[in-house]
């Protein structure tokens, strides 16, 4: 008997290997994606911790108050007196300005010089990790390393020259990262500030010379011995330093408070929410689709199950064949799913690493997650096989064997309904609808299986489109007016006619200019508050003014972003209170601007005057003559009062790159869901044709042409394909809306993103669901068209 | 049949098949349809019985009751002393395995097994000794000794029906049921099939054939005629005694 069953099972596999493989692939993609995508947060955090350990990250960072320094050696001497200190290092951190790059990538930006004694990569605390060149080993004591974030943003080479204000040319041999600057944050604690801050790790003596603080230091980094609590260490250091330097101000930051590290951990957590959502969608879609397919295959064996029952075969033996089918699919899915999940995770990690590299990549195998994935892969088809077998075994054998549904089953009732009897349209349509009605469970499973997969497709496309639309809006806002303009930030506020302002406005190569005031402010309304960056504009400006989504740009008031307005629960016409340097004022919300960046807010010059700030500027927009942007930047580099000179075109390009990098990972998910959708559509269509073999044989026997029979098959599959796709699109829009308005809102608090599903994406989804069904039917029908008609009619399966 | 045990007692052996007031109702929409109504039938071991009736008369339903493929709505079915009506699902599986051999009108062979394997399967689950050898010899008996390696879709209708008979016969089960075994076959093949079935009715085994073909009932020891779910006649065939299968003509 075992030999007989073994032969039987082998023949079953031979006749169904395509369906087994396709179903296993569907499950493998879903289960693998589930494990792969859910492993990313742990990978990111483990890598972060491993990186910090490798770089010997400081447990306590001591910064002297702004402007204060101490003689080199003094801080370290105090640190060495504190119990529990294992290693310490003094540094000098000083502001400066660098000019770097050429052409469109030329930039003059504020710099932060980090003077390190000895080799930056060999520092005993907070070492600098060399990111590029990849070969490593390029950095020695006395070398300069440029921050990788800044270099990457401005597309600078891994080694080169930069000009340091007040110093001259400086050669950097590599780009790198250190624990404090894994991410570059703005003063407001928002990431993405690498465009306008260059961290330069250079020899301590060079930093001292460049900043005019020879022999001085203003930062101390400390590591404790193993097991030392950083809070205790910080408290001990605070006490020691306070006693030693009672008139010196210190700011003490523990490792767990380090902003960049906290931001990375928070990003990992936020990203994981989105990753988990898509992991769950994919695995649910795949599992449901696989469940549906396996159930249909086993259902098609109902008659054979009935024959076995009629012969009195034990139930366990009857169940052997369908359960073996389930087991074959499950084992194959597990074998394919694990490497797929690992590959997917590696691809996404690669994208994330290229955008935000960490010195150590701790890719340990997440056994727990993959165990769950394997369980899903194996148990789903088994469950899918068990249920119809149980259903059949509970039937009377006479019902299980029946070729036509007996009595008053649901399918028969639907078929007998008036609606089904009086369907309009030709044969194809009526047959298609009735075929769906007479097997309601199977039809529902097919439609729902396709719908769930399409929901995943549409919701992922919605996310990509929404982020893309937001980035486009930001880019448009940046490049409106004069896209060649340079934004010059001054080191402090000046009167509009002050010399530093005039120097900028009259620099060689400048053909037009306008002054602006930008300052941070807090807006409050309805018991809520938001940090804003308030900038002024001239309503009649030819250089730049904000584009509006609603409201008026000439009316007195403040223009808020849609996100800020939402956060403050205000609309156009409402009022907000602005906390300004010397006053607090309530102003009207005169409009909503089109830039999605939440903190950006604008006031026209008239409003600025009404706020008492009309005679103060700290930025100048200049329009260089064609081809002279570089000349203007060189002229302004190091000019008194100039903090930075940035090309908006370069900013827009960098933004595009950043969005591409971010959505790169999502695009992998898009491709995966599209592939899953194709597989499901194909397998479902192929199964339907298999189930109808005898009917097609009858049609052929009656002289119906292959083309006509194919049209009938197309009608039926397209009907369920259309219903499944339509349902999936609707649900996908809903899930997409929730993703954008809930998950993304939380993940990107500084950007306003609204649901934007393009017609192209909807068309893609519809084409996928419906088109794949049609293609699958045409492809699978070739086998039907070649069937042995007499043999099929003669033999009753 | 009776067996004289002593001068005071005539002991009747238990009937192979005993149906008492069996009814089968179906709910179709709002109405109730009686496929069988108060049918009482007794068939002895060794009898070759034909259940005769037009299409829709309930004859297949009656056969399904006897084979425990379906359960009556009312009444009692006792096969070789076993009350099938009161049996559990597990007992019914065992009953079909060990007591009944069924030949279906539409053959119902397993498409994934060859002819000999289809027979071997039934032998194995019935627990009959012999396995493959028995399957091969049974196929030989039904004239398909050289077709054992063929799959059902490679066999003609008549050949498939022979395989189905071989499958039912090889188990050695004492009740052999055949539902319209010649319904899809030509006359000559039908005669051969009937001959095979007739030979199976021996001392222990009873054979019950369902047919709408009145001519076929002439070879039966007993003809039970159904109409609209009720027994309208139950007795010897036309002419009083069964005739040879070879004498049939339809």
User: Exposure pattern of A419-455 as b/e (b: 16+ CB <10 Å)?
Assistant: ebeeeeeeebebbbbbbbbbbebbbebbbbbbbbbbb
**Could you tell me which chain A residue has the CA closest to the CA of B158?**
A794
pLDDT of residue A407 exceeding 60 = no
* Minimal C-alpha gap between A678 and chain B (Å): 30
* Minimal C-alpha gap between B8 and chain A (Å): 42
User: Which chain A residues touch B87 with a CB distance below 8 Å?
Assistant: none
- Amino acid A439: pLDDT: 78
* Minimal C-alpha gap between B129 and chain A (Å): 12
Tell me how far apart the alpha carbons of residues A366 and B43 are, in angstroms, rounded to a whole number: 69
Map B114-129 to HEC letters. Answer: CHHHHHHHHHHHHCCC
- Amino acid A416: pLDDT: 61
- Is A401 in Cβ contact with B29 (below 8 Å)? no
Which of A156, A428, A452 is CA-nearest to residue A288?
A452
- Is A398 in Cβ contact with B69 (below 8 Å)? yes
pLDDT of residue A656 exceeding 80 = no
Which of A494, A486, A504 is CA-nearest to residue A543?
A486
Tell me how far apart the alpha carbons of residues A408 and A126 are, in angstroms, rounded to a whole number: 77
* Minimal C-alpha gap between A396 and chain B (Å): 6
- Amino acid A797: pLDDT: 45
- Amino acid B91: pLDDT: 86
Q: In the structure encoding, which two tokens stand for residue A727, read together?
A: 């349902």
- Compute how many other C-beta atoms are within 10 angstroms of the C-beta atom of residue A492: 9
- Is B108 in Cβ contact with A792 (below 8 Å)? no
* Minimal C-alpha gap between A409 and chain B (Å): 9
Q: B112, B118, B164, B169: best mutation site toward chain A, by most A Cβ within 10 Å?
A: B112
CB A736 within 8 A of CB A464: no
Closest CB from A1, A12, A311 relative to B96: A311
- Is A7 in Cβ contact with B124 (below 8 Å)? no
Measure CA A771 to chain center. Answer: 28
Tell me how far apart the alpha carbons of residues A415 and A399 are, in angstroms, rounded to a whole number: 18
Paired sense of beta strands B17-28 and B31-43, if any: antiparallel
Paired sense of beta strands B82-83 and B230-235, if any: unpaired
- Confidence label for B11 from pLDDT (cuts 50, 70 and 90): very low
Which of B66, B54, B50, B58 is CA-nearest to residue B224?
B50
Q: How does pLDDT run across B46-90, given as a tens digit for each residue?
A: 899 999 999 889 999 999 899 988 889 999 999 988 899 988 888
**Could you tell me which chain A residue has the CA closest to the CA of B33?**
A407
User: Exposure pattern of A259-281 as b/e (b: 16+ CB <10 Å)?
Assistant: ebbebbbebbebbbebbbbbbbb
Structural domains present in chain B? 17-237 (3.40.50.300)
Query: What is the helix, strand, coil percentage profile of chain A, to 5?
Result: 55, 20, 25
User: Which chain B residues touch A797 with a CB distance below 8 Å?
Assistant: 111
- Compute how many other C-beta atoms are within 10 angstroms of the C-beta atom of residue A619: 21
- Amino acid B5: pLDDT: 36
Within 8 A by CB and 6+ apart from A243, the residues are none
* Minimal C-alpha gap between B168 and chain A (Å): 9
Q: In the structure encoding, which two tokens stand for residue B54, read together?
A: 């037009």
- Is B111 in Cβ contact with A310 (below 8 Å)? no
Q: Whole-prediction pTM value? A: 0.81
Paired sense of beta strands A518-525 and A575-579, if any: antiparallel
User: Which chain B residues touch A313 with a CB distance below 8 Å?
Assistant: 93, 97, 121, 125
User: Which chain A residues touch B65 with a CB distance below 8 Å?
Assistant: none
Three-state DSSP class for B69? coil
Tell me how far apart the alpha carbons of residues A197 and A187 are, in angstroms, rounded to a whole number: 11
- Is A407 in Cβ contact with B28 (below 8 Å)? yes
In total, chain B counts a number of residues equal to: 250
Dihedral sign from CA coordinates of B168, B171, B172, B174: negative
* Minimal C-alpha gap between A423 and chain B (Å): 21
Give the burial class of A380: count Cβ atoms within 10 A of its Cβ; 0-12 exposed, 13-18 middle, 19 or more buried.
buried
- Helix (H), strand (E) at residue B98: helix B89-98
**Could you tell me which chain B residue has the CA closest to the CA of A309?**
B93
Average pLDDT over chain A reads: 87
What are residue B204's phi and psi, to 5 degrees?
-100, -30
* Minimal C-alpha gap between A14 and chain B (Å): 11
pLDDT of residue A562 exceeding 60 = yes
CB A611 within 8 A of CB A452: no
* Beta-sheet strands, E only, within A580-708: 584-593, 600-604, 617-624, 642-647
- Amino acid A406: pLDDT: 45
- Amino acid B3: pLDDT: 32
Q: How does pLDDT run across A462-482, given as a tens digit for each residue?
A: 988 998 898 888 888 888 888
pLDDT of residue A74 exceeding 50 = yes
* Minimal C-alpha gap between B158 and chain A (Å): 11
- The H-assigned helical ranges of A395-481 are 397-401, 410-416, 418-421, 427-437, 440-479
Closest CB from A8, A311, A396 relative to B125: A311
Q: How does pLDDT run across A671-685, given as a tens digit for each residue?
A: 888 888 888 888 888
User: Which chain A residues touch B167 with a CB distance below 8 Å?
Assistant: 311
- Is B69 in Cβ contact with A396 (below 8 Å)? yes
Q: How does pLDDT run across A201-212, given as a tens digit for each residue?
A: 999 999 999 988
User: Which chain B residues touch A396 with a CB distance below 8 Å?
Assistant: 69-71
Q: Who has greater pLDDT, A281 or A217?
A: A217
Q: How does pLDDT run across A279-332, given as a tens digit for each residue?
A: 888 898 888 888 888 888 888 788 889 899 999 999 888 999 999 999 999 999
- Amino acid A410: pLDDT: 62
* Beta-sheet strands, E only, within A594-693: 600-604, 617-624, 642-647
Closest CB from A15, A317, A407 relative to B26: A407
User: Which chain B residues touch A8 with a CB distance below 8 Å?
Assistant: 110, 112-113, 117
| A509-519: average pLDDT | 91
Prediction ipTM score: 0.81
| B162-171: average pLDDT | 91
- Amino acid A190: pLDDT: 65
DSSP category for residue B185: S
Tell me how far apart the alpha carbons of residues A254 and A261 are, in angstroms, rounded to a whole number: 11
- Is B71 in Cβ contact with A396 (below 8 Å)? yes
pLDDT of residue B9 exceeding 80 = no
Closest CB from A8, A403, A406 relative to B113: A8
Q: How does pLDDT run across A413-440, given as a tens digit for each residue?
A: 666 666 666 777 776 777 778 778 877 8
* Minimal C-alpha gap between A348 and chain B (Å): 45
- Is B156 in Cβ contact with A794 (below 8 Å)? yes
- Amino acid B229: pLDDT: 92
Q: How does pLDDT run across A7-32, given as a tens digit for each residue?
A: 999 998 888 888 899 899 999 999 99
* Minimal C-alpha gap between B163 and chain A (Å): 13
Closest CB from B104, B110, B125 relative to A312: B125
Q: Who has greater pLDDT, B250 or A767?
A: A767
Closest CB from B27, B100, B124 relative to A407: B27
Interface of A with B (CB under 8 A): 1, 4, 7-8, 11-12, 15, 303-304, 307, 309-315, 317, 396-399, 401, 403, 406-408, 416, 788, 791-792, 794-797
- Amino acid A453: pLDDT: 84
pLDDT of residue B233 exceeding 60 = yes
List, as own/partner pairs, every contact residues A468-474 make where C-beta atoms lie below 8 angstroms and the sequence separation is at least 24, other chains included.
Answer: A468/A659, A468/A663, A468/A756, A469/A753, A469/A754, A469/A756, A470/A596, A470/A751, A470/A752, A470/A753, A470/A754, A470/A756, A471/A655, A471/A656, A471/A659, A473/A594, A473/A595, A473/A596, A474/A595, A474/A596, A474/A597, A474/A655, A474/A751
Size of interface A-B (CB pairs under 8 A): 92
Q: How does pLDDT run across A153-201, given as a tens digit for each residue?
A: 888 888 888 888 888 899 999 999 999 999 888 765 666 778 888 999 9
CB A114 within 8 A of CB A96: no
CB A24 within 8 A of CB A376: no
List, as own/partner pairs, every contact residues B242-249 make where C-beta atoms lie below 8 angstroms and the sequence separation is at least 24, other chains included.
Answer: B242/B48, B242/B218, B243/B218, B243/B219, B244/B219, B245/B191, B245/B194, B245/B195, B245/B198, B245/B219, B246/B191, B246/B195, B247/B218, B248/B191, B248/B194, B248/B215, B248/B216, B248/B218, B248/B219, B249/B187, B249/B215
- Amino acid B164: pLDDT: 92
CB B162 within 8 A of CB B152: no
pLDDT of residue B223 exceeding 80 = yes
- Is B67 in Cβ contact with A795 (below 8 Å)? no
Within 8 A by CB and 6+ apart from A229, the residues are none
- Amino acid A188: pLDDT: 59
- Amino acid A420: pLDDT: 66
Closest CB from A303, A407, A794 relative to B157: A794
| A1-5: average pLDDT | 86
- Is B124 in Cβ contact with A307 (below 8 Å)? no
Three-state DSSP class for B3? strand
- Is B111 in Cβ contact with A397 (below 8 Å)? no
* Minimal C-alpha gap between B52 and chain A (Å): 20
**Could you tell me which chain B residue has the CA closest to the CA of A318?**
B125
- Is A312 in Cβ contact with B97 (below 8 Å)? yes
Q: How does pLDDT run across A246-267, given as a tens digit for each residue?
A: 988 999 999 988 888 888 898 8
* Minimal C-alpha gap between A329 and chain B (Å): 19
**Could you tell me which chain B residue has the CA closest to the CA of A792?**
B153
Q: A3, A307, A408, A796: best mutation site toward chain B, by most B Cβ within 10 Å?
A: A796
Q: In the structure encoding, which two tokens stand for residue A268, read together?
A: 């990992």
Three-state DSSP class for A522? strand
- Is B93 in Cβ contact with A315 (below 8 Å)? yes
pLDDT of residue A380 exceeding 90 = yes
- Compute how many other C-beta atoms are within 10 angstroms of the C-beta atom of residue A742: 12
Q: How far is CA B57 from CA A523, B77, B85, B180, B188, in A?
A: 88, 19, 22, 13, 27
Tell me how far apart the alpha carbons of residues A249 and A94 are, in angstroms, rounded to a whole number: 16
User: Which chain B residues touch A304 with a CB distance below 8 Å?
Assistant: 110-111
- Confidence label for A773 from pLDDT (cuts 50, 70 and 90): confident
CB A633 within 8 A of CB A486: yes
CB A281 within 8 A of CB A204: no
- Is B27 in Cβ contact with A310 (below 8 Å)? no
């Amino acid at each position: 008997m075992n030999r007989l069953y073994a032969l039987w099972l082998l023949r079953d596999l031979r006749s169904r290997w395509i369906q087994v493989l396709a179903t296993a692939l569907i499950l493998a993609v879903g289960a693998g994606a589930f494990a792969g995508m859910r492993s990313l947060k742990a990978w990111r955090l483990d890598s972060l911790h491993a990186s910090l350990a490798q770089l010997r990250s400081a447990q306590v960072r001591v910064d002297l108050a702004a402007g204060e320094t101490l003689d080199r050696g003094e801080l370290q001497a105090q640190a060495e007196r504190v119990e529990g200190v294992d290693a310490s290092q003094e540094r000098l951190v000083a502001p400066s300005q660098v000019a770097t790059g050429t052409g469109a990538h030329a930039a003059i930006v504020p710099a932060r010089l980090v003077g390190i004694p000895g080799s930056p990569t060999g520092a005993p605390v907070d070492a600098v990790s060399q990111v590029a060149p990849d070969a490593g080993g390029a950095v020695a004591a006395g070398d300069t390393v440029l921050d990788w974030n800044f270099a990457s943003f401005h597309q600078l080479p891994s080694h080169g020259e930069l000009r340091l204000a007040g110093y001259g040319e400086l050669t950097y041999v590599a780009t790198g990262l250190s624990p404090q600057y894994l991410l570059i944050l703005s003063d407001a604690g928002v990431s993405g500030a690498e465009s306008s801050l260059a961290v330069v790790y250079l020899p301590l003596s060079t930093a001292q010379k460049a900043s005019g603080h020879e022999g001085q230091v203003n930062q101390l980094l400390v590591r404790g011995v193993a097991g030392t609590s950083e809070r205790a260490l910080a408290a001990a250091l605070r006490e020691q330093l306070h006693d030693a330097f009672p008139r010196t101000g210190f700011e003490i930051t523990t490792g767990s408070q380090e902003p960049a590290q906290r931001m990375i951990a928070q990003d990992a957590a936020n990203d994981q929410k989105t990753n988990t959502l898509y992991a769950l969608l994919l695995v649910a879609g795949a599992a449901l689709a696989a469940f549906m397919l396996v159930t249909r295959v086993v259902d098609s064996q109902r008659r054979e199950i009935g024959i076995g029952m009629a012969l009195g075969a034990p139930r366990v033996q009857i169940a052997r064949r369908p359960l073996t089918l389930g087991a074959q699919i499950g084992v194959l899915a597990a074998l394919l799913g694990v490497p797929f999940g690992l590959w997917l995770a590696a691809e996404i990690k690669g994208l994330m690493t290229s955008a935000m590299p960490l010195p150590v990549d701790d890719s340990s195998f997440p056994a727990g997650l993959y165990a769950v994935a394997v369980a899903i892969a194996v148990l789903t088809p088994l469950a899918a096989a068990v249920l119809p077998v149980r259903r059949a075994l509970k039937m009377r054998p006479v019902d299980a064997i029946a070729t036509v549904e007996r009595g008053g089953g649901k399918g028969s009732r639907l078929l007998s309904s008036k609606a089904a009897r009086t369907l309009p349209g030709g044969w194809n349509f009526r047959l298609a609808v009735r075929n769906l009605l007479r097997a309601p469970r199977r039809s529902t499973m097919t439609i729902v299986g396709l719908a769930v997969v399409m929901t995943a497709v549409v919701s992922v496309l919605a996310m990509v489109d929404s982020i893309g639309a937001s980035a486009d809006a930001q880019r448009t806002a940046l490049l409106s007016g004069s896209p060649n303009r340079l934004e010059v930030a001054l080191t402090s506020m000046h009167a509009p006619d002050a010399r530093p302002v005039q120097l900028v406005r009259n620099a060689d190569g400048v053909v037009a200019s306008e002054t602006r005031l930008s300052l941070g402010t807090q807006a409050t309304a309805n018991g809520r508050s938001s940090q804003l960056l308030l900038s002024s504009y001239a309503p009649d400006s030819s250089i730049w003014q904000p584009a509006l989504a609603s409201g008026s740009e000439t009316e007195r008031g403040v223009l808020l972003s849609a996100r800020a307005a939402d956060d403050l629960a205000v609309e156009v016409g409402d009022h907000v209170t602005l906390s300004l340097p010397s006053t607090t004022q309530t102003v009207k919300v005169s409009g909503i601007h089109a830039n999605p960046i939440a903190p950006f807010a604008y006031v026209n010059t008239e409003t600025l005057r009404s706020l008492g700030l009309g005679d103060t500027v700290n930025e100048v927009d200049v329009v260089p003559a064609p081809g002279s942007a570089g000349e203007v930047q060189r002229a302004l580099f190091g000019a008194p009062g100039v903090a930075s000179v940035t090309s908006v075109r370069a900013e827009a390009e960098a933004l595009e790159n950043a969005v591409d990098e971010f959505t790169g990972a999502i695009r992998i998910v898009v491709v995966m869901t599209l592939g899953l959708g194709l597989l499901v559509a194909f397998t479902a269509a192929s199964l339907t044709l298999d189930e109808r073999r005898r009917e097609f044989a009858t049609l052929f026997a009656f002289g119906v042409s292959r083309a006509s029979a194919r049209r009938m098959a197309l009608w039926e599959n397209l009907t369920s394909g259309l219903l499944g796709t339509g349902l999936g699109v609707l649900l996908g829009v809903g899930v997409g809306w929730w993703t954008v308005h809930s998950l993304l809102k939380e993940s990107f608090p500084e950007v306003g993103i609204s649901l934007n599903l393009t017609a192209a994406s909807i068309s893609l989804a519809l084409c996928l669901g419906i088109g794949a069904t049609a293609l699958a039917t045409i492809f699978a029908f070739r086998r039907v068209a070649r069937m042995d008609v007499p043999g099929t009619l003669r033999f009753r399966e | 049949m009776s067996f004289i045990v002593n001068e005071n007692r005539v002991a009747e052996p238990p009937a192979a098949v005993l149906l008492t007031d069996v009814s089968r109702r179906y709910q179709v929409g709002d109405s109730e349809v009686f496929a069988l109504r108060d049918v009482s039938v007794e068939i002895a071991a060794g009898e070759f019985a034909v259940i005769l009736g037009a299409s829709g008369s309930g004859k297949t339903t009656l056969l399904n009751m006897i084979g425990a493929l379906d359960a009556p709505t009312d009444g009692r079915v006792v096969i070789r002393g076993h009350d099938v009506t009161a049996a559990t699902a597990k007992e019914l599986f065992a009953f079909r395995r060990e007591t009944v051999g069924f030949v279906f009108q539409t053959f119902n062979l397993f498409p994934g097994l060859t002819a000999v394997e289809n027979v071997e399967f039934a032998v194995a689950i019935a627990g009959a000794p012999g396995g493959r050898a028995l399957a091969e010899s049974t196929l030989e008996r039904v004239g398909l000794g050289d077709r054992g390696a063929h799959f059902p879709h490679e066999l003609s209708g008549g050949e498939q029906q022979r395989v189905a008979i071989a499958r039912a016969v090889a188990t050695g089960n004492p009740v052999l049921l055949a539902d319209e075994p010649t319904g899809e076959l030509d006359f000559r093949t039908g005669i051969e099939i009937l001959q095979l079935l007739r030979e199976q009715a021996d001392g222990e085994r009873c054979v019950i054939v369902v047919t709408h073909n009145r001519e076929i009932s002439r070879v039966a020891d007993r003809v039970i005629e159904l109409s609209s779910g009720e027994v309208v006649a139950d007795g010897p065939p036309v002419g009083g005694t069964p005739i040879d299968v070879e004498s049939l003509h339809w």
